[in-house]
Amino acid sequence: MADTNEEITAGGISIHAVDVARGIPAAGLNLRLRRIDRNPAEIAVGACTENGHFPHPVAEGTGVERGVYEIEFDVGAYYRGSDVALPAPSFLDVAVFRFGIDRVNEHFHLPFKFTPWGFSLFRGGA
């Protein structure tokens, strides 16, 4: 995509996390979202709400630029905090997902579905 001087409104990055092992929204799941290529920056940190959504201005486009991003989900800590028995060390402690945004004006919805043994993450609802 060619650089231009015109202002582009970012579509945002929204996140919805579901604990599919227990069939519930992942309330309290902590995550970190970073832009990792040019202009590296941590652009969102926090926890998912009772409905599993991540409430942050990044969902409306704040801080979103064209580039490569990495998101980390604290899956092991989430399950340990929910009194779910995990082996030590746990099989999945931090789930890391790297993705790129070329068309910054589009919205990127990331549905994160996970268990203590694996996860699925894709671009949904584009």
Structural domain boundaries in the chain:
13-118
Is residue 126 predicted with pLDDT exceeding 70?
A: no
CATH topology of domain 13-118: Immunoglobulin-like (2.60.40)
Task: Report how far residue 63's alpha carbon sits from residue 44's, in angstroms, rounded to the nearest whole number.
Answer: 9
pLDDT classification of 65: cutoffs 50, 70, 90: very high
Residue pair 64/8 in contact (Cβ under 8 Å)? The answer is no
Does residue 82 have a pLDDT over 90?
yes
Report the pLDDT averaged over residues 72-83.
97
Beta strands in 20-92 (DSSP E): 24-25, 30-35, 41-47, 67-73
E-assigned strands of 1-126?
13-19, 24-25, 30-35, 41-47, 67-73, 95-101, 108-115, 118-121
pLDDT of residue 5: 44
- In angstroms, the CA 104 to CA 11 distance is 6
Q: What's the pLDDT tens digit per position in 87-121?
A: 999 999 999 999 999 999 999 999 999 999 999 99
Confidence bin at 125 (pLDDT 50/70/90): confident
pTM over 0.85: yes
Report pLDDT digits (tens) over 17-46.
999 999 999 999 999 999 999 889 999 999
Contact 110, 69 (CB under 8 A): no
- The pLDDT value recorded for residue 6 is 55
